[in-house]
Chains A and B, each alone.
Chain A
Amino acid sequence: MNVVLKQLKQLGILFALIGIMITFTVLSPVFLTVDNLTNIVVQSSINGIIAVGMTLVIIQGGIDLSVGSLVAVVGVVVTTCMVQGMSVPLAIALGLGIGLLVGGLNGTMISRLGLQPFIVTLGTMSLLRGTALVYSHGDPIFKVSRQFRAIFAGQILGLPGPIFYLILVAAIGMFILNFTRFGVYIKAIGGSEEAARMSGVNVSRYKILTYAICSLFTAVAALVMVGRLGAAEPIAGSGFELDAIAATAVGGTSMSGGKGNVTGTILGALILGALRNGLTLLNVQSFYQVLATGAIILIAVSIDRFAQVKKS
């Protein structure tokens, strides 16, 4: 019965997405076309990829505010290195390595020093943004090689690169959460950290691992972004942390930890993406888009809360 309820809850988010899509289909003839729908998924992919990692962190009882700045650091460092002649595979490895390092650092400070995730990642958020600005002297970097762009923005297995990486990352996220010991530990730590510790879970190790994975996924998102734009900017990614948290929340993951799922988060990212896309098609001024995004987040979370209260 539990499983059925869970499914129903996800269907609720799905219905919200369908509702938004029907509305825009009625209002704009262009909305429901293959090109536009593909576009929505591509536009949602970077947020979606980051949000998968954010979901793991939030289920585990934490938060990561540093993801947006990390996108910028990975972007400018990888791009600069390639411009200076580093091979593409090595540059990709470097980008992913930076992700793991930053995540490991966040996780270590949070678990070993017992600092609060909000504060630690608020600190690294500024630190990383500063690093990106200093490293690039504030300038954007162009001339990303065609080879690199093909890997991240070209067609892969018949899919646009960003969509491919979104599916890949989401699959990894779901896999971790549902089929591994690590996934159970993430939920256990988020639900009752002390009980998890008393049950013999190595809490600090798995906390560090969770943040590392979140940052690794963020690095993937950064590479996809550089591939799509063909450039990197030190101011890129600002606000991405909030979008990722929004997608997670809209997707039904509990902000207090212990409960959540990746499918919901992906749907959440698509809802936000579809909303922005539709409003743009309708020529709604971008200021109003910001307003609408806020409203959607609050509505989605209220509906979720309402469903929870009814259930209990």
Chain B
Amino acid sequence: MESPYAVELIDVYKSFPGVKALSAVSLAVKAGEVHALLGENGAGKSTLLKILSGVYIPDRGIVKLEGKEIRPASPSHAHHMGISLVHQELQQVPELSVAENLFLAQEIHYPGRIVINRRRSAVLAAELLARIGVTIDARAKIKTLGIAERQMIEIAKALWGKAKVIAFDEPTSSLSKAEVNQLFRVIKELKEKGVGIIYVSHRLEEIGAIADTISILRDGQNIISGPASEFDEARMVKSMVGRDLSSLPQRADIAGNKVAEDSGNRRIVLQARGLTNRRLKDVSFSLYQGEILGVAGLVGSGRTELMRAVYGADEALGKVEILGRDMAKRSPQKSIKAGLGLIPEDRKGQAILRLMSIKNNIVISSLKNAERFGLLSGRKMSQAVAAFFDRLMIRPRDPEMVIANLSGGNQQKAVVARSLLANSSVLIFDEPTRGIDIGAKADIYTLMRELVAQGKSIMMVSSELPEILLMSDRIIVMKEGRITGELSRSEADEERIMQYATGGN
């Protein structure tokens, strides 16, 4: 008997030491449907996907593929059976080419299976890439590509072979709108071919656009499952967080900052003049006290590079003044001392100290203040940190816990706490809500508003235009290493920003 389901997970349990990740979770994905899987970070979505793709073995429960029970023992085993996972984290070898990465462990050989057929690999890779509509040279090394391009390669990789089920884990978190549309087209094609799609995302508007069925997990348990037509955003959010969070703040709720709009006697807290390096061309801007300055632009337009140059993480010609102090030779250390903090885009690689406790992660930038007689004082450190657990709602409330065990949202809060503890009054948030769940996102937005109300000043880089429009008092738009436009809160809309971000001159 043919099963209508491409893949089923029945009554699955999985525990880790001290944590029940999944209990009695079931999920049934039909062939040819897009099944959205929702839940806050830590709800168990990733664990479920990892069980499906053979990374974890469930403690109890059954996995069925087309009605037959299977026991995926490793990702390559799962892949051979027809289950592909598009990872949230990019899992690629930077020194290898696009084609080599696409066919890693499934190389295309000449007969004899010893020598790799490079020419054929390149052709097949190009075909695969063309299928998802990207133009990337298959011979280019991965390390020369941007994050968005690498994400597209991850997707192309899942298409290789005869996938029966493809699971997408937050595939769009670093893609532009055009790329997202491209991805949706590919997903629709796959659907028509009868592939079962599992789609995990925090972007609820995407879910509405693409999902046929929605399942929601909370705290490792099934909460609800049903046709997408029965869900609106409010219901999704409510089911995910378990409380009536009136979704995210709306733009109309945020009046924009009076201080920031009163252009007369505004104090400049950060000024950059003529910043120039490999990725920046003569960039100048000012940040006023008490405002949130949004920095928009496409991926690769130099937004992050500008922030890094200002902060002193990258070298650049030109002048920077922080709170009136001229920063001659810039470094992160000096910037922090002068009152500037940066919350990096790449949380895993550049922000968290993954082996260390939450406490150490928060105090790392202000250890000097935690000393008594030249020695670290455990009590001073704990005292300094304690307040932030309440103020930023960092969970779990265990300062000694290793930060790598936290959800993305809580890690992000700890990184923000680091800058606040260091008394930074000018803060740069680079993609502050990337890959974090909706509850934490709302917390971060509220916090940013609180901070500017207290007289701090913020620059925020974001690829999500709604986020830029929601939060910014003023917006600068970058393109190819230059600032191409500036918009006030009242002038700004998606169309104008995109014009500056893409337009000729």
Residues of chain B lying within 8 A (CB to CB) of residue A311: 17
Given the complex of chains A and B, what is the CA–CA distance between A200 and B375 in angstroms?
19
Could you say which of A3, A180, A202 contacts B333, with CB atoms under 8 Å apart?
Answer: A202
What residues on A are CB-neighbors of B357 within 8 Å?
Answer: 2
Nearest-neighbour CB distance to chain B for A186, whole angstroms, equals 11
Residue of A nearest to B347 (CB): A195
* A259 cross-chain contacts in B, Cβ below 8 A: 355
**Cα A202 to Cα B332 with chains together (Å):** 9
Is the CB of B354 closer than 8 A to any CB of chain A? yes
Which residues does chain B contribute within 8 Å of A188, judged by CB atoms?
353, 356, 360, 364
Residues of B within 8 A of A195 (CB): 349-354
**When the two chains form their complex, are residues B352 and A200 in contact, meaning their CB atoms are under 8 A apart?**
no
Q: Are A198 and B367 in contact (CB under 8 A)?
A: no
* B364 contacts A196, C-beta separation under 8 Å: yes
**Residue A197 at the chain B interface, CB threshold 8 Å:** yes
Contact of A200 with B332 at beta-carbon distance under 8 Å, contacts A180-B376, A184-B360 already known:
yes
Within 8 A of B (CB), among A1-26: 1-3
* A187: Cβ under 8 A from any B Cβ: yes
Docked-complex contact B355 and A179, CB < 8 angstroms:
no
Q: Which of B297-340 contact A (CB under 8 A)?
A: 311, 313, 331-333, 335-337
- Closest beta carbon of chain A to B81's beta carbon, Å: 26
Judged by a CB distance under 8 angstroms, whether B489 is at the interface is no
**Bound complex: CA of A1 vs CA of B418, how far in Å?**
24
Q: How far is the CA of A4 from the CA of B351 in the complex (A)?
A: 28
Is A191 close to B, CB under 8 A? yes
B352 x A192 contact (CB < 8 A): yes
Q: B318 CB to closest chain A CB, in angstroms?
A: 20
Q: Which of A185, A195, A202 has the most CB of B within 10 A?
A: A195
Asked if B422 and A200 sit within 8 Å, CB to CB, the answer is yes
Interface assignment of B244: CB less than 8 Å from any CB of chain A: no
Measured in the bound complex, the distance between the Cα atoms of B343 and A200 in whole Å is 12
Q: Check A187–B365 contact: CB distance below 8 A.
A: no
Q: Which residues of A contact B365 (CB under 8 A)?
A: 199-200
Indicate if B127 sits at the interface (CB-CB under 8 A). Answer: no
User: In the complex, are the beta carbons of A184 and B332 less than 8 A apart?
Assistant: no
The residue of chain B having its C-beta at the shortest distance from the C-beta of A254 within the complex is B355
Give CA–CA (A258, B352) in the complex, Å: 13
Decide if A181 touches B355 in the complex (CB within 8 Å): no
Residues from chain A with Cβ under 8 Å of B364 in the complex: 184, 188, 196, 199-201
Interface residues of A in 173-187 (CB under 8 A from B): 179-181, 183-185, 187
Size band of the interface chain A makes with B: 20 to 34
- Please determine whether B350 and A258 come into contact, CB atoms closer than 8 angstroms: no
Q: Which of B18, B353, B355, B360 has the most C-beta atoms of chain A within 10 angstroms of its own C-beta?
A: B353
- Would B354 and A192 count as touching, CB distance under 8 A? yes
Number of A-B contacts (CB under 8 A): 80
Which of B313, B356, B376 touches A198 (beta carbons < 8 Å)?
Answer: B313
* Complexed CA–CA distance, A200 and B376 (Å): 17
Question: Contact at B333–A200, with CB atoms within 8 Å?
Answer: yes
Tell me whether B416 is interfacial, beta carbon within 8 Å. Answer: no
Report, as a range, how many residues of chain B touch the other chain: 35 or more
B376 touching A179 by the CB < 8 A rule? yes
Q: Are B422 and A191 in contact (CB under 8 A)?
A: no
Contacts A199-B332, A200-B332, A202-B333 given; indicate if A192 touches B376 (C-beta within 8 A): no
Chain B residues lying within 8 Å of A139, measured Cβ to Cβ, are none
**How far apart sit A188 and B17, CA to CA, in the bound complex (Å)?**
26
How distant is B56 from chain A, measured CB to nearest CB, in Å?
A: 12
Whether a CB of chain A sits under 8 angstroms from the CB of B400 is yes
Verify B351–A184 contact, CB threshold 8 A: no
Q: How far is the CA of A181 from the CA of B376 in the complex (A)?
A: 6
Question: B367 and A181: CB pair below 8 A?
Answer: yes
Contacts of B335 in A (CB 8 A): 200
Q: A199-B365, A201-B333, A202-B333 are in contact. Are A192 and B375 (CB under 8 A)?
A: no
What separation, in Å, do the CA atoms of A201 and B368 have in the docked complex? 11
Residue contact A191 to B353, C-beta cutoff 8 Å: yes
Q: In the complex, what residues of A have CB within 8 A of residue B450's CB?
A: none
Query: Which residue of chain B has its CB nearest to the CB of A5?
Result: B17
Q: In whole angstroms, how far apart are the Cα atoms of A202 and B364 in the complex?
A: 12
B259 within 8 Å of A by Cβ?
no
Bound-complex Cα distance A185 to B17 (A): 29
Chain A residues with CB under 8 A of B400: 2-3
Q: Are A198 and B360 in contact (CB under 8 A)?
A: no
A199 touches B353 (CB 8 A): yes
Least CB distance from B416 to A in Å reads 13
- A259: shortest Cβ distance to chain B, in Å? 6
CB pair A198 B375 closer than 8 Å: no
B342 at the interface (CB under 8 A from A): yes
Report whether B371 and A181 are in contact in the complex, using a CB–CB cutoff of 8 Å: yes
| Min C-beta distance of B497 to chain A, whole Å | 28
Contact B355 A187 (CB under 8 A): yes
Q: Is B442 an interface residue (CB 8 A)?
A: no
CB distance from A274 to the nearest CB of B (A): 31
Asked if B186 is an interface residue, CB under 8 A from chain A, the answer is: no
Interchain nearest-CB distance for A81 vs B (Å): 34
In the complex, chain A residues whose CB is within 8 Å of the CB of B331: 202
Q: Which residues of B contact A184 (CB under 8 A)?
A: 356, 360, 364, 367, 376
- Chain A residues with Cβ below 8 Å from B356 are 184, 187-188, 191
- Residues of A with C-beta under 8 A to B354: 191-192, 195
Chain B residues with Cβ under 8 A from A181's Cβ? Answer: 367-368, 371, 376
Chain A residues, CB < 8 A from B18: 1
Instruction: Write the chain B residue with the least CB distance to A258.
Output: B355
Measured between alpha carbons, how far is A188 from B375 in the docked complex, in Å? 17
Interchain CA distance A180-B371 in the complex, whole Å? 8
B402 at the interface (CB under 8 A from A): yes
At the interface, yes or no: B344 with Cβ under 8 Å from chain A?
A: yes
Q: How far is the CA of A200 from the CA of B361 in the complex (A)?
A: 12
Q: How far is the CB of B304 from chain A (nearest CB, A)?
A: 12
Max chain A Cβ within 10 angstroms of own Cβ: one of B367, B374, B401: B367
Closest chain A residue to B334, Cβ basis: A200
CA distance A28 to B267 in the complex (A): 81
What CA separation (Å) do A187 and B363 show in the bound complex? 14
Nearest residue, chain B, Cβ from A197: B332
Task: Determine which of A1, A194, A202 lies in contact with B350 in the assembled complex, contact meaning CB atoms within 8 Å.
Answer: A194
Partner of B375, one of A180, A196, A197: A180
Please encode chain A, from 192 to 215, with 1 for each CB lying within 8 Å of some chain B CB and 0 for all others: 101111111110000000000000
Q: CA A200 – CA B365 in complex, angstroms? A: 6
For A183, list chain B residues within 8 Å (CB). Answer: 376
Give the distance in Å from the alpha carbon of A312 to the alpha carbon of B17 in the complex: 8
- A192 vs B313: C-alpha distance when bound (angstroms): 15
The proximity string for B residues 455-481 relative to A, scoring 1 for CB distances below 8 Å and 0 otherwise, is: 000000000000000000000000000
Whether B352 and A198, one on each chain, are in contact in the complex, defined by CB atoms closer than 8 angstroms, is: no
User: Could you list which residues of chain A lie within 8 angstroms of chain B, going by C-beta atoms?
Assistant: 1-3, 179-181, 183-185, 187-188, 191-192, 194-202, 258-259, 311-312
- New contact pairs (11) apart from A3-B400, A198-B351, CB-CB < 8 Å: A179-B376, A183-B376, A184-B360, A187-B356, A188-B353, A198-B313, A198-B342, A199-B332, A200-B364, A258-B355, A259-B355
Would you list 7 pairs from A and B whose C-beta atoms are within 8 A, ordered by A residue? A185-B367, A188-B356, A192-B352, A198-B311, A198-B350, A199-B365, A200-B337
| Shortest beta-carbon contacts, A-B, top 9 | A191-B355, A200-B336, A258-B355, A181-B367, A200-B333, A199-B364, A200-B365, A199-B365, A200-B332
